[in-house]
A and B are shown apart, each in its own frame.
Chain A
């Protein structure tokens, strides 16, 4: 098979892509989140009504996705800082990417019960 002409960087490029995508998602959520929190200045009932949607199973799944995006962005952001400020950072950027990946998977597995447990109990009706 001939070599492709499309640039496909390895860990460095994909971490950069994922950092952008997660960053944009988090920014849009932040905008919505400030708006929903602003309802505490309108009335307790309106605030509680909107927050109730955050407790539905589908939105709980979105919250799990939000945690996934924030954790990746945070961990990879620390990797970017290490690449920029640690003298050996650029040499170990690949290894640090896989460390980020492993820590992310571990934290995501650890978050399942806390973030999705409530939705699960709603679904099975207990």
Chain B
């Protein structure tokens, strides 16, 4: 660190002419939390921020996909009474509804799974309970996403 006193002038720093000149610049003080070469590397990525953003983006898409799904399945054309294998076969004959259901499945499962992860983090206090609850959650999530995806892609209207 260089001294803050101007060596030549005998004037104090408060009352006199400016202490620092082009030839005698003020010392550079780093911002308190600025990352430097000496700062240890952060062990955390931006996962939580990405999860936060994902909840909002997927939420907007899911409002459209899920409310549309509800409208078709429970409201229009006789509501729930029309649903059956034939109705599913009719809908999945169109790639549009296959993609609709596939995107809805993935987004809803990831959205719900991340929501439950937050809830486990909030309420399960012992490290072992947190670990086991999340292990169960992730197992169920992967299983459900894979099963649903498999069903949509391998659906056979002439199964019998």
Contact = CB atoms under 8 A, between A and B. Distances in A.
A7 interface: no
Interface stretch (B1-9, B14-22, B80-88, B127-135): B80-88
Nearest to B86: A44
B75 interface: yes
B93 interface: no
Contacts, number: 101
Interface stretch (A47-55, A89-97, A98-106): A47-55
Interface residues on B, range: 35 or more
Q: Is the interface of B mostly helix, strand, loop or mixed?
A: helix
Given A30-B112, A54-B80, A115-B79, A77 B85 contact: no
Interface string B140-160: 100010011011001110011
B26 to A, nearest CB: 37
Interface residues on A, range: 35 or more
Interface of A: 20, 23-24, 26-27, 30-31, 34-35, 37-38, 40-41, 43-45, 47-48, 51, 54-55, 60, 63, 67, 70, 74, 77-78, 80-81, 84-85, 111, 114-115, 117-118
12 contacts: A27-B113, A27-B115, A30-B144, A40-B89, A41-B155, A45-B160, A51-B84, A70-B67, A80-B56, A81-B60, A114-B74, A114-B75
Contacts of A30: 108-109, 112, 144
Interface string B64-94: 0011001000110011110111101100000
B119 interface: yes
A45 B75 CA distance: 24
Interface in B25-78: 56, 59-60, 62-63, 66-67, 70, 74-75, 78
A44 B81 CA distance: 16
Contact of A44 (B67, B116, B150, B160): B160
A54 B156 CA distance: 23
6 interchain residue pairs of minimum CB distance? A44-B85, A27-B112, A114-B75, A34-B148, A77-B59, A118-B81
Given A31-B140, A34-B144, A34-B148, A47 B108 contact: no
Contacts of B56: 80-81, 84-85
Given A67-B74, A118-B81, A24 B159 contact: no
Nearest to B112: A27
Contacts of B83: 51, 54-55
